[in-house]
Chain A
Amino acid sequence: MLNGTRRLGALAIAAAIFASACSSTAATGTPAVTPAPAATTAAATSTPASAPSAAPSAAAAAVTCVTGTITASGSTALQPLVDAAAKQYDAACSGATITVNGGGSGTGLTQVAAGGVQIGDSDVTAESRLKAPDAAKLVDHIVTRQGWIVVTNKDVTGVTNLTTQQETDVWTGKDTNWNQVGGPDLPIVLIFRPSSSGTRTTFKKLVLNNATEATGGQTLTEDSNGTVTTAVSKTDGAVSVIGFAYYNDPAAKPILNGLQLDGVDATVANMASGTYKLAADGHMYSNGTPAAGSLTEAFLAYMMSPAVQGTLIPSKFYAPVTK
């Protein structure tokens, strides 16, 4: 009798494995199994204007409060801003809980397209990464202009500015010593972000004009703004690119040299006006137009409100997108 039960159980397990194997196959074959179909396709490319009609009235009143729980994830470059805005919103509105995670732009886009989170933060457009049908489902909300800054180790003295051409020579490996760009006799150590990162993609497009970067012994790759800061500050002759918000962290700024780009200072004003080249839109994607009266809609509207655009954004070293 024991044998019989055992055999039955084994059979059941085998069946379960087989069944779940099949279902996982089906699920991964077609990743886009979320609701919100055709209705929003047309709105996909509309930008800050898609902030709902609540925004003007919210300018006069304080905050449009909606209760509920939502999650935003994605870009680590945007994370300090979105996190601070979420905390302010949560404090102003009891009953609202907005969780902000990092993970990278790709994570944000994947999760919002799959419906895992309500808002996906990204440094890059959805069209540049997702497959067309997935990208078309998402609605873009440009909430800020974020800047990056080229930083060097403190021992790279005498270099305060690099032109676009010099940056290209340095990052493609044409120049390998700081004395070729007016610095000390010291080998240049390039600290990249991973080639998939939004920071690297943006820098490559805006500054290097998509030139092919150097590889090999004098190049390192570090994952996050934090490890890049540590690596640059500890490595002789190191140069890298970090988010402007991270550069202005009181712990990071004193141990790094921040460089001008084409003679323009990295300041919030120069990023807003566009004279500082290394700045790009910060995107917050929702899966379709957020439902009227939802917390997602209210929070995205809050991101465009004077409280965030006028006060919070400059204080976190981002540039506002509304006047």
Chain B
Amino acid sequence: MAQLTSALPASGLRARPGLLARIDLPRRVVFAAASSMILIVALLMVFITWQGIQLFIADHVPVGQILAPTWQPDATNGPTSFGILPFIAGTVFVTGVALLISTPLSVGLALFLSEVAPRWARAIVQPALEIFVGIPSVVWGWLGITILVPFLADTFHKKIAISLPVVGQVFSMPGFLTGFSWLAGSLVLSIMILPTITSVSYDAFRAVPQELRTGSLALGTTRWQTIRHLLIPSALSGVLTAVVLGMTRAAGEALAVQMVIGNSPSMPAAITQPVTTLTSQITLDMGNTVFGEPWQDALWTMSLVLLIISITSVVLVRALNKRRMGS
């Protein structure tokens, strides 16, 4: 049997080599393209992981230390502490607020486009979204530093405090001293991720079969009831996928955020105060540190944390998609 199968292609090869080559070539090209992509991703993950654990292996920093709140990597400046918690917290908080601002806007916009908008409105909004995607992040950051940051500093520089009659002061927050702040970063990001969340959720809403809509309307529901009880539940996993994709984009953005958040390497205190994110701290320090010193190894560890965030969100998206396929 084995002899038979191995003999067949050999005889075919001898009979018509030209044809075989012609048939096989495209297959080989796409196979090479796919495998080189897999290879690059695998190498990248191996390299970042290897560099990321050097801080613990070569520099003998205890693993738990990266969760300390103190970032003091300069050995000439006393005992070092490679606590990257302020940067992880900065990334999580800046991204979180950006999602809180952007998700309702984007999902609303997607619903408008898919259910409400007349054709001419869709013809305007969709190209506008595509232009949004194409604007480079440096331009968003530049707009932020030129317009948003001075606006925040000039408008909201007073201390914000809420007092209740009996309890007394329940909430107090320093005003914007400079405008470079957590909120500025979140606002810039929320605009940047808006097209991502909008277009992916738009696709999710469009994927809901038209028969369900007409059936629902035939039962006498209003358009809002159809959206609320039919469209949103059935497109939920798609919308969540959109949010996760927006989150990944926001957490990975470096330049625009760095320009407006002030990059103060301490734990985020208030939404009006400067913070730092993982990506921002990496870009600030990478050019000034040398390869192999603990300082740069700590930056690689931050890259590893970002990689883990990114892998987690990919797994999440796939799980959500599986649920959508299943239901």
A interface residues, Cβ below 8 angstroms from B: 1, 9, 13, 16-17, 20-21, 24-25, 28, 31, 102-107, 109-110, 113-114, 128-131, 134, 187, 189, 194-198, 210, 212, 215-223, 227, 230-231, 234-236, 238
Contact = CB atoms under 8 A, between A and B. Distances in A.
Contact of A131 (B5, B146, B273, B292): B292
A105 B285 CA distance: 11
20 contacts: A25-B50, A28-B50, A31-B292, A104-B286, A106-B296, A110-B291, A129-B289, A130-B293, A196-B295, A198-B288, A217-B177, A217-B264, A217-B270, A218-B177, A220-B178, A220-B263, A220-B264, A221-B265, A223-B258, A223-B284
Given A21-B46, A189-B178, 9 more contacts: A9-B35, A17-B42, A114-B291, A129-B289, A197-B288, A215-B265, A216-B264, A216-B273, A221-B265
A197 B149 CA distance: 25
B153 to A, nearest CB: 7
B274 A220 contact: yes
A221 B262 contact: yes
A105 B293 CA distance: 14
A215 B266 contact: yes
Contact of B180 (A110, A194, A231): A231
Interface of B: 5, 8-9, 31, 35, 38-39, 42-43, 46-47, 50-51, 54, 73-74, 76-77, 145-146, 149-150, 153, 174, 177-180, 258-259, 262-266, 269-270, 273-274, 276, 283-293, 295-296
B284 A221 contact: yes
Contact of A106 (B8, B46, B276, B288): B288
A13 B50 contact: no
A222 B283 CA distance: 11
Nearest to B274: A220
B77 A210 contact: yes
In terms of DSSP, what is the predominant structure of the interface of chain B?
helix
Contacts of A231: 145, 180
Contact of A196 (B54, B145, B259, B289): B289
Contact of B43 (A20, A105, A220, A235): A20
Nearest to A111: B291
Contacts of B38: 13
Contacts of A195: 73-74, 265, 285
Given A13-B35, A17-B42, A220-B263, A234 B288 contact: no
A220 B265 CA distance: 9
A103 B266 contact: no
A13 B264 contact: no
A187 B145 CA distance: 20
Contact of A110 (B50, B146, B284, B290): B290
A216 B276 CA distance: 11
Nearest to A212: B77
A221 B260 CA distance: 10
Given A9-B35, A21-B46, A24-B43, A129 B149 contact: no
B288 A24 contact: no
The 3 closest A-B pairs by CB, nearest first: A104-B287, A196-B288, A221-B263
Contacts of B153: 235-236
Contacts of A31: 291-292
Contacts of B145: 227, 230-231, 234
A197 B288 CA distance: 5
Given A129-B293, A189-B178, A223-B283, A194 B288 contact: yes
Nearest to A235: B178
A8 to B, nearest CB: 11
A217 B258 contact: no
B39 A1 contact: no
A109 B292 CA distance: 12
Contacts of A13: 35, 38-39
A131 to B, nearest CB: 7
A305 B115 CA distance: 74
Contacts of A189: 177-178
A230 B266 CA distance: 23
Contacts of B43: 17, 20-21, 24
Give the interface centre of B51, B266, B274 by most chain A CB atoms within 10 Å: B274
